[in-house]
Amino acid sequence: QRFAELQPEDRRRAFLEMVAGISQAAVATSDLTTEYTVYPGIERYSVHAPRYAVRDGDYLYVSLPGASVSVPGVVGDTRVNPVYWSLEDRATTVITLQLPPAFTNVQIAPAAIAWRAPAGGRVTFSTTHTNNVLTFVRRITMRPTVLDSHIYPELLEMNRTLSHPATRTVLVTRDQ
């Protein structure tokens, strides 16, 4: 409903903020399309961010856009009370990086993750490298539930894994 109720100018500004959240140099390559006839709603857009990577000699570093993924309700090292997940959350993020022709050796990329969350939720990360294009797909499905505190150590460990810099860091080297 956020975009359905906005005035056109406010919607345009919100979209520009989303694009700038990826990179200050990013340029939208598509319009924002929204579909709210399904639940949860779908927001789609694409951007082009030139020179997004940092080059250091024969190395190219990239930090994937988007905030770290975290497990809801994980705020400390221990928990006595149950954890309450109030909202259903479904999100798919696809990030495609076109590598420069001379840089094809992927040294570091996010590892695949497949976590079956409590109450039927799921978190998956995957990385593919084909024809000098790196594609990262993050899929998250969380369902409302109340979790006993004894499951908290598992949630804490998965939260550490999902929010670790390794889930968003890419290092590519120049071909020799």
Contact present, 45 and 18 (Cβ < 8 Å): yes
Report d(CA 97, CA 80) in Å as an integer.
Answer: 43
Cα distance from N-terminal residue to C-terminal residue, the chain = 52
Strand partners, 125: 113, 138
What is the structure's pLDDT at 124? 93
Give the pLDDT confidence of 23-54 residue by residue, as tens digits. Answer: 888 999 999 888 878 776 788 888 888 888 89
pLDDT tens digits, 49-106: 888 889 999 999 999 887 567 888 888 888 899 999 888 888 888 888 888 899 989 9
Q: Which is nearest to 33 in space by CA: 64, 4, 57, 10?
A: 4
The pLDDT mean for the chain works out to 88
Please check whether residue 173 is in contact with residue 59, taking contact to mean a CB–CB distance below 8 angstroms: yes
What residues contact residue 42 under an 8 Å CB cut-off, 6+ apart?
34, 35, 36
C-alpha distances out from residue 92 to 26, 65, 73, 75, 173, Å: 20, 14, 21, 24, 28
pLDDT (tens digit per residue) in 114-160: 999 888 889 999 999 998 899 999 999 988 999 999 999 999 999 99
Q: What share of the chain is helix, strand, coil (3-state, %, to 5)?
A: 20, 40, 40
